[in-house]
Structures are given as C-alpha cells and as structure tokens.
Structure 1
Amino acid sequence: MTIAITGATGQLGGLVIDSLLARVPATEIVALARNTEKAAGLASRGIDVRHFDYNQPEGLEPALKGVDRLLLISGNEVGRRTPQHKAVIDAAVAAGVGYIAYTSFLHVDQASIIAVAPEHKETEKLLAAAPVKVGLLRNGWYTENFIAQVQQSAETGTLLTSADAGRISAAARKDYAEAAAAVIGADAVDDAVYELSGDESFTYGDLANVTAELTGRPVALQNVSEEEHLKALLAAGVPEFGAQFFASTDLAIKEGELFDEHPGTLSKLIGHPTTSLKDALAPALTQG
C-alpha cells in the first residue's frame, strides 16, 4: 500500500506524516510538495518525496503513479482552491488512486456564512462524482487560528470580537493531523464523513480568561457589532479582505457555524481527549 500526502511540508501535512510514521513504514509514504528542497528532512527519513504543485496540472498525474490512497489537504489560496482541487482529483482518478481523503470543514453542508465553506462544498461535489472511495475529514476551526489575536490581546488588554456568546468547537492542529493519519492509514477504508471537533467548545470570553490566566495580565472582552468590528479592523490597518474575513468569521461563530453539538468523533479517532484550549495556547503565550 502506498499513501500520498499533499502539502507535505505544510503545518498540517508535516504533522500528518509524523503521525502516519507510527502506523506504516516510511517506504509506504509519498510526500507531495511544491518545494522539494523543503522536504529534504522527509527524504532523509526514507520517505519518497515528489514534486507536486496544484497550479501545475500537467505534473500531478505522474506524481501520483503507484499511489493507492491520497490525502488531499485543501489549498491555502482562497478563491483558487476549487480548480486546484479539481486538477488533483482528476489526476488521482487518471493515476488509478482508489481512495481520497479530503480536509473539508465542519458541517460544511449546513454552513452559509463562513467564508471557507463554498470551496469546500464545491470540492465535496467533485469528490462525490469521482469513481473513487472518499473520506471527508470535516475539520472544525484550528485553535491555533486564535494565537495572533490572543497574543495581541495580552499586549493591549482587550480582546475585540463581534461573535457575542457564540461557541467554537475548535481543536489543535496536531489532533486533526492524528485523525487524518488514522483514517488514511487504517487497515481498510470506505466512503465516510467525519465531523471533527474538540471535545469542549469555548467562547471568546473563555479565550480572554485563558489568555489572562496564562500571561498573568488582565484581558477584557469587548463585544461590538459586526459593523463596528469591521471598522476597527480597517482602522488598525488590516487589509479589507482580511478585515471582511475576520468579521464574517465572528458572525459565523455568533450564528453557531463553528459549533459542534455532538463532539467526540475526533477524540474517538485519535484514541485520546483532544487538546484543551489552555494547553493549545500555552506555548504561544508563555514563551520566554
């Protein structure tokens, strides 16, 4: 069996490979990377490293030769991901890949506000039409997505949000990586949808409290309207696209799109509780 991982030098891909190495021999893993020089460390561990660029469709099928299972980690170029993912899926089918696992988004079939939803929905449709078995890894929000925000709040003493009391079922990147490795490296694979989220949800109020606890500095929660939030972000120099993204994400949180009412699938897959909010944020807030 040969398992290929896209985005192998990325933050998630690297963690997936680390976890996968505990399950299968290095000789059964193919690391697909846009920059193969960055993957030198993987090659030194006995892993087959192949050039793989979502924006160069002509090179995708040859890179997938001999691959049985593929983990397609969603691209990071928002607005271009659907054609990129289509090129990968088409190449995988042409190369004879029998199973594709894809990192989608939590309850994406029900999401309408969160900005990342449309491209994930479109990719899931492409996968549904492909003649392969498919595993949909619908990952919730990464706890690490809040690191820059809480670091800033520790400095300013204020955590700004327009999410109100909306709850977030986030988990650490390492947890999602372990789940991906468990699915792609399982003895048997079949069509399945995995709604993946942290065991415990939290609010922005919890983020403020944990930040204060870890840094020893008071952090006040400032809840504002979506319009006020957007204005504040723009005034702080955040580019318009980024400001719109952050404000719309908080609206999605407020409306419950980042909350999982029935958690537990992720911790069951990885065989242990998901990383707590405090433990996930501690390395970034207690450095030095």
Structure 2
Amino acid sequence: MALHRIYGGVGLSGKVAHVKDLPLRQLTSCHGTLAVTGRHQTRGMAADTSAATTAEQGTSSSGQAVTSSQQQQQQQQQEELPSLLQLVSLYGARLTTAAQMVWAQVLQPGDVAVDATCGNGHDTLFMAQRVGQGGAVYAIDLQESAVASTRQLLQQQLPPEACPQLHLLQGCHSQLQALVGSNVAKLVAFNLGYLPGGDKGIVTAADSTAAAVEAALEVVCPGGLVSVMCYIGHPGGLEEYERVRALAAGLSPSYWTSSELKLVNRPTAPVMLLLWRRPDVQEQQARR
C-alpha cells in the first residue's frame, strides 16, 4: 500500500503492522484519560441480575412482550449512556479522546475525513481506521516534520488490507478547500495550537484558522461535522478561539447546529467547538 505526499509528487511505500480496532466500550485507561468499560456503576444505570433475566425471557418489567429489536435497542442504550456521561462531564477523560468519541458517531466505512492539522498523526490514524479501505483521509500540516511523523505512524500501525486512500499534504490549513474539494468530507477536524513535542513558537493563528474553518464549511457534506479543538492557554490562543466561536455562533440554525464543550471551572482548559451541517441541507450557499 502506497502513501502519497501530493506536494512535490513524492511517494513512499512501506509495510505496516496490524492494530486491532477495539470498540469504545472495551477501552480502559487511567491517570486523566478516558475510562470506558463494559459495565458502569452509575446512578440509575446499573443493571441487576433480575432485570437481565427478565430481558432474556423477552418480557418487560410490566409483563408486556419485548421484541428482539427492542432488547437490542435497550442493550445498546445501556452500553452508550456511560460513554455519553463521560463525554458530557469529561470526568477522567481528555478532551481529545472525547472528540474521537464524537467522530466515531459520524464516520462510517467509505467516508472521506480531513485532519486539517495532523500533528503527530494520531487523529489521522483514528480516522483511517474508521473509514477503512473504501474511504479516504486527507492529512494536512504546515510543518514538514508533522507530515513525516504522520506518515511514519500510518506505516507502522495501519494494516494494508484496511488502508484507505491517504493524502499527506504539507500546506496551510487555510487552503483546505483547494486541497480537498467542496462538499465531500464527512468530517473536518482541527486540533489547534502547536505541534506536541515541537517548537512552541510555531502555532496556528486567528486569521488563518478563521479562513480554514470558513473553508471547512464548504468542504463538509450534508450530515457532516466540522470539529475544532481550541487551546486558550498560550499567547494568541484566546483570540483564535474567540474568532472561531464567533463564526460558529453566526451560522444559521436552519442549516447548522453549533455547540461548545468546555470545563467552566478550568478557565485555561481546551474548548471543543462542533459545527454540524444538517443532513437535509443541500445548498451550501444558503448556510448563513
């Protein structure tokens, strides 16, 4: 499987290793990261043995018949609700992990995804695993070292039999539409700030980021999502966040749903902005 870098026409090929894609409910971690297990003892959600037995017998607590589809729906709700609580409260979870929880609800096999600030490639890898062989992933970064790190991670961890079309692009995220196209992506994600482990003096800026998010609104397809992770603790970060938030707040609710997730008792914590394009909206021009 070849990984292609569009700028300069350079192509690299390499063998990759297999990584098992575990369902979210089977992931466990600690020390400030997401903890999602198969069973959560949260108030009102712990299923006892008698309730489980009743479900297996195909009856509800009121004695009414419960269909197989209803049982499956109830089981799915029990599995998803703890994860939703983790997402909403962010207790024991990193916001970047919460972002991937959201993306997992959007991306399907065969979709197109864009990592507009690929950094070290971890989000790119997640997207590639979600869309699979029939999909496509664009990874963009201004720094050549970031593109190289992303390429290396994909070569090491992505199994060739599940590898989507990969486009690793060195360039500014403000040129997103020219690099990717219009009305094509199910997800466009930004992780702003500086490259982890890199030069902290090289950061995303308010003007170029605002232009990039504007472009993302043209790139995302109906039912798609623009996800923006903003960091406000470094110089210029607050201004960048405020520009993006103002843009999100100005979108017409007839065509977009804009939301924000942040920790209000941690003033310098990252903030996640989510811009959902309604699936029944086909005319991009009518978005405002």
TM bracket, shorter-chain basis: 0.3 to 0.5
TM-score normalised over the length of structure 1: 0.37
More helix by percentage: 1
User: Which structure has more RCO (C-alpha within 8 Å, separation ≥ 6)?
Assistant: 1
User: Which of 1 and 2 has greater Rg?
Assistant: 2
More strand by percentage: 2
TM-score normalised over the length of structure 2: 0.37
